Amino acid sequence: MVGLKHRLVPPHFKLDENEKRRVLEMYGSIYKFPKIKASDPAIKHLKAKPGDIIMIKRFGGGVYYRVVVEG
């Protein structure tokens, strides 16, 4: 769930395995996704590990996905 609260940071969610599988079926390889570091302040509270997929709900209405990498 969302733990970081700031007016400029959109909500971030770590996908569970079923959601991850569904997203990968829609978009293909995990290597096509933009990357986000595990040390990113918006990610740290999610306890995400490399290979996890993060869904970002932008304030303008878009949904974006990032794959977590070391760092």
Mean pLDDT score across all residues of the chain: 89
User: Which tokens is 4 given?
Assistant: 């970081």
User: Which tokens is 6 given?
Assistant: 């700031």
At residue 67, the 3 state secondary structure works out as strand
Entry pTM:
0.85
CATH number of the domain located at residue range(s) 12-69 in this protein: 3.90.940.20
Q: How far apart, in whole angstroms, are the C-alpha atoms of residue 61 and residue 41? A: 22
pLDDT at position 1 over 50: no
Q: For residue 45, how many other CB atoms are within 10 A of its CB? A: 13
Which of residues 60 and 67 earns the better pLDDT score? 67
At residue 31, the 3 state secondary structure works out as helix
